[in-house]
Amino acid sequence: MSVTTLERIESHLPARSIRIDDLAERLSLRPTEIGVFRKIYGLDRLHFDTDLDFFDLLLPAARRALLHLPTDGFVAYVIYAHTVQTVAPPDIDPAQVIKRELGIEGAEAFALNQQACVSSLGAIDLAGTLLRSEAPKGAYALIVTGEQAFSPKIQLIPHSAIMAEGAAACLVTLDGGGDRVRSFVTRTLGQFSAGLLMTNEEIRELGALYAKTLALVISEAIAEAGLRPDDIHLIIPHNVNTITWKQTIKELEIGIDKFFLENIPKVSHCYSSDVFINYTTLLEEKRLVGNGNYVLASVGLGATFGALVVTRKESN
């Protein structure tokens, strides 16, 4: 069977970076709550710019990813993967705008957000399935992620995260020269489907299951890829907070040095873009090794846990 390959991942952050303290009034957070987010949750700075146009956030990474489309290739699918259900006024269909602004013709453009912050990983899986089932040779899918924290209600995830702005794009095809997708595992705990509207009791119940479930999904993805924990070079996680990941790490046979947590205090949680943003940071810092195995992992409100294993392309 053909293998889904990630040909290029790009990301884009708004130029304006602020400290979480600067959001205290907007999010109605007491100084002591900010202290908890800083000292316990490991947050510090994030990118956030209320003056930035939505599509000026989304398009730069997508444009750069498209530069890697070969001359004999074509984009068959534009998939806008997001977390928050409503990201634009009802008369604007972001997937269609992205397609039009990028000058892509003939592609199907649509959005998905059912897995919330795991939607970016779900989009990779879906892109592979669509390309395998119906697309002609030379077809690519362009996945675009990114959204704005346009309201305090979608910026503060109680007891968990302060959301930030960032965008990314991932160019996908079959049997290309890029990173090979080895496995994708998700688990949705539907009893927490209320998401941001969960009661305190539900939040506490989810908190008790979070680390174990995330660890289980990561372990299953590694096993499904035919690998062992020792075979993994790095886990590339979502940036929810530090303490949640440290709790998850305690459930795994993988040392903390294999988790890329360095972006948590720098960019915070950018909805479904984190795994791509973190990937590009590692790429820029030349920390992704040829043929290395990486786990992209995220959790979405709702509550979906997801992990995707890729094997990096060979070094040039």
Partner 1 sequence: MQRESIVKVVGAVIGKVVSRDIGDASENTALFDDINLDSTSILEVLLGLEDEFRIEIDPDDLDMDSFRTIGSLADYVEARRPLSLGGE
Interface contacts to partner 1, rule CB under 8 A: 30, 32-33, 35-36, 39-40, 42, 158-159, 200, 203-204, 207, 242-243, 246
Q: How far is the CB of 34 from partner 1 (least distance, A)?
A: 10
**């700075």: which residue's tokens?**
45
Q: How far is the CB of 204 from partner 1 (least distance, A)?
A: 7
Q: How far is the CB of 303 from partner 1 (least distance, A)?
A: 16
Nearer to partner 1, 158 or 255 (CB): 158
Nearer to partner 1, 246 or 258 (CB): 246
Nearer to partner 1, 220 or 251 (CB): 251
DSSP string, the chain: ---EEEEEEEEE--S-EEEGGGGTTTTT--HHHHHHHHHTT---EEE--TTS-HHHHHHHHHHHHHTTS-TT-EEEEEEEE-SSS--S-TT--HHHHHHHHTT--S-EEEEE-TTGGGHHHHHHHHHHHHHHHHPPTTEEEEEEEEE---SGGGTEETTTEEB--EEEEEEEEES-SSEEEEEEEEEE-GGGTTGGG--HHHHHHHHHHHHHHHHHHHHHHHHHTT--GGGEEEEEE--S-HHHHHHHHHTSSS-GGGB--TTHHHH-B-GGGHHHHHHHHHHHTT-PPTT-EEEEEEEETTTEEEEEEEEPPPP-
Q: How far is the CB of 161 from partner 1 (least distance, A)?
A: 11
Q: How far is the CB of 42 from partner 1 (least distance, A)?
A: 8
Nearer to partner 1, 186 or 241 (CB): 241
Q: How far is the CB of 40 from partner 1 (least distance, A)?
A: 5
